[in-house]
Amino acid sequence: MIEKVCSRCGRCCSYLPLFTQHMHPKYREYLLNRGLVEDKQQGCILIPHVCQHLGFKTDGKTKEYFCDINDDPDRPEVCRKFHGQRIIKGSRVYIPLGCSFREDL
C-alpha cells in the first residue's frame, strides 16, 4: 500500500456533505433547486460550510484554503482520524475531487 500525504488543501473541510442514499426525492430536488451542488459519484449534496480551522490566501480573484491545525496535536479527533478513508466508525466521509487521498471511486 502506498503511503499518501495530505496536501492540506482544505477542500474536504469546505463543505458539509449531506448523503442522499435515504433522502426523499422531493427533498433532494428542493436542495438542488436552492443552488446546492450534488456529487453523484459519492451520493451527496454539498453544503458550503467552511471549517473554523481553515485559513485562506487569495490573489483577489480566487480563494485557496489550507488547514491551520494539521500539525497541532490538540486538533479534533475527526481530523486526526481522517486519512482519506471513505468510512470512519460506520459514517461515510466526503473525499473531494482532486484530493491526494482520492482514488477512482
User: Is the model more confident about 77 or about 27?
Assistant: 27
Average pLDDT for 18-46: 93
pLDDT of residue 23: 93
pLDDT of residue 29: 96
Residues 15 and 45: their CA atoms lie apart, in Å, by 9
pLDDT of residue 3: 61
pLDDT of residue 24: 96
Q: Are 11 and 99 in contact (CB under 8 A)?
A: yes
The percentage of residues in the chain with a pLDDT greater than 70, rounded to a whole number, is 88
Place of cell 460550510: 49
pLDDT of residue 88: 67
